[in-house]
Structure 1
Amino acid sequence: MSPPPPEATALNRPITIDFISDVICPWCYVGFRALVTACVTQGNIPTHLAMRPFELDPTTPKEGADRRARLLAKFGGDEARLKEISQALVDAGLQVGIAFNFDAIKTTPNTRDCHRLMRWARSAGVEVECAEALFQAYHVEGEDLSQATTLVSIARGLGMDGDLVARLLASDADVAPVEQELEIAQRMGVTGVPTVLFNQSFAVVGAQGVDTFVAALNRARVEQAAAPEAAAPGNS
């Protein structure tokens, strides 16, 4: 049997998507939902989505910090400005089916353990589901993601071994690999999230709409299909 033509092989190969984000970033949740919707809409384009870590504030203590106090400090105590930004987020969230409930969020967590959990979820085959669960738990349900018990509960809800996750969280397991990925994002010049890489070829930055991500998926597929032809002997 002869091998399939290079174009067919390229079209069948999944588009790799690296979604660089932090779970406490509301715009990341909006962008994540829009991207997932785009992938579903373009069901004829195979994709592989991987969540990559970013920390909005690595100085946040492990036990977390008071969210409202931090936000007011960030905006110079301007309550009106904070309310305006929150409403813009609420409106954007509704467009992709997210019911943001910022009043329920009391604690801004250090998200290093969240990124470790997503890494373990990747091994369990539920990485994307874990990202959705963490986003939902924080932004809609107001769960405290600085608590190991919260993360273990989320893991169990995904069918993961909760006892194992509890033991891993209590250790330094996978701290170094997460730190390495954070350093990679920094070396790449990522300063804002979400940043979404398609086939490690081009990036879409920010919480873009579904149409933008659909266009990116189609661009990635066209470039991927053209690559073997461009590399073939006799082509320049």
Structure 2
Amino acid sequence: MSRISIEIVSDVMCPWCVIGYKNLEKALQELPDIEADVEWHAFELNPQMPREGQNMREHLMEKYGITEAQSDENRDRIRQMGEAAGFTFQFADDGMMINSFDCHRLLTWAKSEGKQTELKLALFKAHFTDNQRLNDPEILLAVVESVGLDRTRAQAILDSDEYSETVREEQQRMHQMGIQSVPTFIVNQKYAITGGQPPQTFVQALRQIDSESSQTP
């Protein structure tokens, strides 16, 4: 049994991040001889986003200079890719793009509790499937509680600056490594796989990486 590390640079607001992760899961199921230690790293797509957020469609049309028809095409493509990966996207006209900094703070804490991936997936579902507003502290706390994390402790984190510096330092380190887009999957601290790749791409890449690693003296 080989053991590899996979660090995922990601933002909760990124649909391709959950597509990529679900496809990574499928790939690992095809590789029973490889066991992966997964860790998530913070990356804010919109660090200047105000706390109240912005309508998701309006934000993406402004950011990428696309039309409403192109936005609909993108949504359809993401829905189809999500369905193939095993994740449900339910885009709503009132869906919001929010500032995800507090989500990253809670994910940093969840790592120390052994619940980071569980919380990440719960946040993806809340945002993209259930159309919940993750800038609402009560909703955010309910998601935290749903994966078995302590609500009172999470509330204390949200009421303070705890983990803020850790998140900022982590994001700075990702930028210094040259990472400019998400998702980015860093395997064994050496190899990078970018984007919401299909399962077979992950299978081929991880097999090759594992083979090269096993040959290294």
TM-score relative to the length of structure 2: 0.94
Q: Within the alignment, does 1:209 sit opposite 2:198 as a pair? A: yes
d(CA) in 1 for partners of 2:55 and 2:35? 41
| Count of residue pairs brought into register by the alignment | 217
- From 105, 112, 120, the equivalent of 2:101 is 112
CA RMSD of aligned residues (A): 1.5
The secondary structure found in structure 2 opposite 1:154 is: helix
Return 5+ residue gaps in structure 2 as ranges.
none
Look up the match of 2:179: 190
Q: Specify which of 120, 134, 141 is matched with residue 130 of structure 2.
A: 141
State the AA in 2 paired with 1:135: F
**Paired residue for 2:67, among 60, 78, 102?**
78
Structure 1 residue aligned with 2:158: 169
Which structure: larger Rg? 1
Secondary structure in 1 aligned to 2:34?
A: coil
Instruction: For 1:1-236, list aligned pairs within 5 A.
Output: 12=2, 14-76=3-65, 78-103=67-92, 106-227=95-216, 229=217
* 1:130-182 CA-partner distances (Å, limit 9, x unpaired): 11111111111101111221221111111111111011111000000100110
- Residues 41-71 of structure 1 show CA distances to partners (whole Å, capped at 9, x for unaligned) of 3232111000111111111012322223212
Distance 1:94 1:55, change over 3 A: same
Question: Unaligned stretches of 5+ in structure 1?
Answer: 1-10, 230-236
* Amino acid across the alignment from 1:141: D
Is 2:55–2:94's contact at 8 Å kept on the other side of the alignment? no
Q: Which letter maps to 1:196?
A: F
Q: Which amino acid aligns with 1:117?
A: L
**Percentage identity across paired residues of the two chains:** 33
TM score, norm. by length of structure 1? 0.87
Q: What SS does structure 1 have at the residue aligned with 2:186?
A: strand
Q: Which moved more, 1:187-196 or 1:34-43?
A: 34-43
